[in-house]
């Protein structure tokens, strides 16, 4: 590239950077807000981390009379476990804030009806996330722990570690919370034109098989827990099929007018 070519290219690069600079600044502001919300929620969670940990340990103690307390084998393990627990709770607690920031970043390019839909999605996605996490903690986890602790006996003493147990519980809650987003993922795929309106209805039994396999792996082979997870996921899938049908009818009516 000659000096003249470089001089001719520089103004184009400057105009391109100036064009994308507002979007870059907006994205940075949204990311900073999201990270700040995670930090704030994590700090708040750490203030009550011992009570939160005690609440999460209750299902384990109820699962077996052999478990009176948890152990840690490294001196900083308890401290680091509480830090990690607070961070994961902060990440889960900031979920609606992160969704809202994504909406605010994309809303300038959306039509008014799409902005309204985005607000509805953020609200119901948060409700479903909380519902999925609660379902994991109060319905699935106790049954899973009973299954796991059934291997304990006179010749096999359970010594669950604090850090590993808390990580297992919180990860499962987050996984279930995200799994409960199925209807909105289906609706968004339909509205984005990635699949046809009746695609999920026609492929229902294939997705049912995937749901059963996913639930089986998440529940580590516990058939009772697999059933408890698969049944609500089936219901959520059918809700996604129903919502896709409603939105496709509205779209056809609007196109007809």
Domain positions in the chain are 21-149+158-180, 182-251
pLDDT of residue 212: 86
DSSP 138: I
> Looking at residue 10, what is its pLDDT?
45
Given a contact cutoff of 8 angstroms between Cβ atoms, the answer to whether 168 and 177 are in contact is no
Report the pLDDT value the prediction gives residue 18, as an integer from 0 to 100. 47
Q: CB count, 10 Å around CB of 67?
A: 19
Structural contact between residues 115 and 107, judged by C-beta atoms closer than 8 angstroms? yes
Q: Would you give per-residue pLDDT tens digits along the chain (257 residues)?
A: 454 544 545 454 445 444 445 556 777 787 888 899 999 999 999 999 999 999 999 988 888 887 888 888 888 888 999 999 999 899 888 888 887 777 776 665 556 665 666 677 778 788 888 888 888 888 888 888 888 888 887 788 888 899 889 988 888 888 788 878 877 777 777 766 667 767 888 888 888 898 888 778 766 666 776 787 788 888 888 888 887 777 666 666 556 55
Q: Which segments of 48-111 does DSSP mark as H helices, in order?
A: 49-63, 77-93, 95-106
Give the pLDDT confidence score for residue 38 in this predicted structure: 92
Q: What angle do CA 130, 135, 139 make, to 5 degrees?
A: 160
Which residue, chain included where needed, has tokens 């529940």? 219
CA distance 134 to 19: 45
Q: Quote the pLDDT of residue 47.
A: 94
> Using an 8 Å Cβ cutoff, are 164 and 148 in contact?
no
- CB neighbour class for 83 (10 Å; exposed up to 12, middle 13-18, buried from 19): middle
With 0.75 as the threshold, say if the pTM is over it. no
Distance in angstroms (rounded) separating the CA atoms of residues 47 and 44: 5
Buried-exposed string 88-126: b where 16+ CB fall within 10 A, e elsewhere: bbbbbbbbbbbbbbebeeeeeeeeeeeeebbeebbeebb
Give residue 83's pLDDT.
93
What pLDDT score does 193 carry? 67
The pLDDT, as a whole number, for residue 6 is 43
Write the CA distances from 14 to 4, 6, 19, 21, integer angstroms. 16, 12, 9, 10
Judge contact between 107 and 126, C-beta under 8 A. no
Supply the DSSP symbol for 69: -
Q: What are phi and psi of 214, to 5 degrees?
A: -65, -45
């Amino acid at each position: 590239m000659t000096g003249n070519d470089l001089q001719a290219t520089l103004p184009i690069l400057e105009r391109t950077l100036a064009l994308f600079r507002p979007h870059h600044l907006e994205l940075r502001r949204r990311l900073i807000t999201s990270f700040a919300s995670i930090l704030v929620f994590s700090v708040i969670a750490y203030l009550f981390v011992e009570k939160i940990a005690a609440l999460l340990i209750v299902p384990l103690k109820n699962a077996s009379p052999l478990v009176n307390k948890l152990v840690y084998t490294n001196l900083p393990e308890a401290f680091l476990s509480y830090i990690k627990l607070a961070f994961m709770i902060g990440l889960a607690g900031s979920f609606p804030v992160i969704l809202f920031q994504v909406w605010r970043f994309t809303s300038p390019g959306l039509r008014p009806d799409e902005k309204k839909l985005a607000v509805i999605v953020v609200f119901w996605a948060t409700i479903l996330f909380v519902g999925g996490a609660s379902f994991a903690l109060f319905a699935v986890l106790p049954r899973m722990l009973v299954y796991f602790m059934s291997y304990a006996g006179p010749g096999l003493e359970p010594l669950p570690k604090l850090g590993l147990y808390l990580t297992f519980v919180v990860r499962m809650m987050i996984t279930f919370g995200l799994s409960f987003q199925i209807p909105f993922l289906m609706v968004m795929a339909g509205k984005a034109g990635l699949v046809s309106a009746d695609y999920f209805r026609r492929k229902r039994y294939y997705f049912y098989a995937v749901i059963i396999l996913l639930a089986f792996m998440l529940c580590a082979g516990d058939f009772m827990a697999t059933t408890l997870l698969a049944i609500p996921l089936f219901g959520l899938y059918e809700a996604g099929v129903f919502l896709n049908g409603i939105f496709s009818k509205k779209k056809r009516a609007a196109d007809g007018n």
